[in-house]
Structure 1
């Protein structure tokens, strides 16, 4: 692999949501602060929406890690795959709370067990927060069951909070009349945006530095221009293309990733392409170079034949 070649200690562009690589840029900083303030204020439902690959899971794990650093205050539950029936959701929540419940347990009995442990946590001064990733995949009946479950409360406060991480499809679901009550429960919402050109350069540099790189820029400005054009600033695609282009440069024995390794990586990645204008500009630049070398060759031949 290219680690030794580029003097890097670990893979800088892995797709695993390692929070050590979390970059506290404006969009993510605002989202993180919104989540922490909303959680500390015991707000009801909180929603974070973003396109595929914009870093929702990374943000979710960052918040989870923060809460887990305060076990006397917070109890966190995390459901990564919410494609569940209403009872399946309750069973998953119970498991996250440390409860043992057989799948054949009755709905009422299961809810009583969950309520009992939530009441105990509340009496101990501990706040339960349920995180649901990929919430757009939840069936409508399960979303409604989740809303009904949040009716569990004492005279002073709700027994648990819900944080939803989802693709924009969730917003479309919530516009349905049948889910209007859930929509009204969402007190705070945030939309994660993709990186701009400046943010992308910071993102790439940050991940390389976090991985142990300490040297001049690995990616040329032209390569980053193409990376931004092809990835549209989506972090997951940025990671894929950077990883591949580092491999290409390593195979060529180069210590700088220029435009050609980046182009090869883009061509090798399904669902990713440069805008036609960029491709034409690159082709035109290549044609100019060919003509320039031809003119230079003719000049040198003429010079030596004098």
Structure 2
């Protein structure tokens, strides 16, 4: 691998949502501020939506690490669960022995009692669900019913939903209008600008231990941004591949050729400006050739008359 080639302690562009590599992107910073403010002041549901690869899971883990002491978290990373499985998972996250409750009604009562006990300690439970767009319809309804657990003066828990845009489509359905109306705060994650991508790349290299001269030129960063659309996951994939290519050639600086090769080998990326230029040029050549053939055929036909 290229770790020794660049004197790195670890690989800088892995796809694992490692919070030690967290970069304070403007969109992520705003989302985190909204989340923490909403938890401090709001009630009900909080929703964060972002396209695939925009860093929702990393932001989710960052939130769990940043939660103030007055919150007790229950993290559900894979919510593709039946209502019973969802309640079981929440109960286990709250350290409730599910084996002691042989039906769902008793388990729900145990969850409510646990929430009340935590509330008496001056704390509030936060249930955090990643990939919330995968929740089955009946589990979404079960989640809404769980959110009804409250005292006479306050809710006993907050629920934070992280999901892809499909989550908005799910919640827009009439059957989920009650849950939709309980969403007190919402935030849509955006992709990186080209300047953010430049800082993002530099930050990850620095965290990984790189101390040498710049590896990525401004032109290369612009190509990477256009190809990845500013999506962190795609940027990581491309950056990893171009570093492999430069290592394979025994060079240290990433070139436009490396970027084009990485793009050709990567799904869901867009044509770079230079590659699009070649495509347009090729189309023009074909068009001119077709016009030439048509003109020649017309001239020949006229000559033979």
Length-normalised TM-score, structure 2 = 0.88
Alpha-carbon offset, residue 43 of structure 1? 2.3
- Cα shift at 1:280: 4.1
Task: Give 1:7 deviation, angstroms.
Answer: 2.0
The alignment partner of 1:77 has SS state of strand
> Equivalent residue for 1:193?
190
Pick from 259, 275, 279 the counterpart of residue 279 of structure 1: 275
8 Å Cα contact 2:126/2:160 also seen in 1 = yes
User: How far apart, in 1, do the equivalents of 2:26 and 2:218 lie?
Assistant: 22
Q: Which runs of no fewer than 5 residues in structure 2 stay unpaired? A: 282-305
Aligned to 1:39: 39
Query: In structure 2, do the counterparts of structure 1 residues 190 and 28 end up closer, same or farther at CA, with 3 Å as the change threshold?
Result: same
Per-residue deviation, 1:200: 1.1
Q: Distance in 1 between matches of 2:238 and 2:29?
A: 25
Helix, strand or coil at the partner of 1:204: helix
Any idea what SS the aligned residue of 2:105 has? helix
Q: Residue 247 of structure 1: SS of its match in structure 2? A: helix
C-alpha displacement of 1:20: 1.4
1:220, 1:259 within 8 Å by CA — same for their partners in 2? no
- The change in CA–CA distance for 1:180 and 1:283 in structure 2 (over 3 A counts) is closer
Q: Does 1:212 align with 2:209?
A: yes
Is 1:113 paired with 2:110? yes
Aligned residue for 2:292? none
State the alpha-carbon separation in 1 of the partners of residues 279 and 159 from structure 2: 51
Distance 1:35 1:284 in 2: 45
Change (3 A) 1:198 1:41: same
Kindly provide the CA deviation profile for residues 214-239 of structure 1, in whole angstroms up to 9, marking residues without a partner as x: 23211122221221111111000000
Secondary structure in 2 aligned to 1:78? Answer: strand
Contact 2:42 2:184 in 1 (8 A): no
Deviation at 1:103, TM superposition (A): 10
Equivalences for residues 1-306 of structure 1 within 5 A: 1-67=1-67, 70-71=68-69, 73-102=70-99, 105-275=102-272, 277-281=273-277
Structure 1 unaligned segments of length 5 or more: list them: 286-306
- Moved runs in structure 1, 4+ residues, more than 3 A? 280-285
SS at match of 2:47: strand
**What secondary structure, in the 3-state scheme, does the structure 1 residue paired with 2:98 have?**
coil
How far apart, CA to CA, are the structure 1 residues paired with 2:110 and 2:101?
14
Structure 1-normalised TM-score?
0.88
Return closer, same or farther for 1:185/1:199 CA change in 2, 3 Å cut-off: same
- In 2 relative to 1, CA 283–108 (structure 1 residues): closer, same or farther, beyond 3 Å? closer
In 1: Cα distance, 2:158 partner to 2:85 partner: 19
Decide whether the 8 Å contact of 1:49 with 1:168 is kept in 2: yes
Using the TM superposition, give the Cα deviation of residue 136 of structure 1 relative to its aligned residue in structure 2, in angstroms.
Answer: 0.4
Q: 1:249 to 1:282 in 2, by over 3 A?
A: farther
Q: Distance in 1 between matches of 2:171 and 2:150?
A: 24
Q: Could you list the per-position Cα deviations for residues 162-198 of structure 1 after superposition, in whole angstroms to 9, with x for gaps in the alignment? A: 0000000111111111111111100000000011111
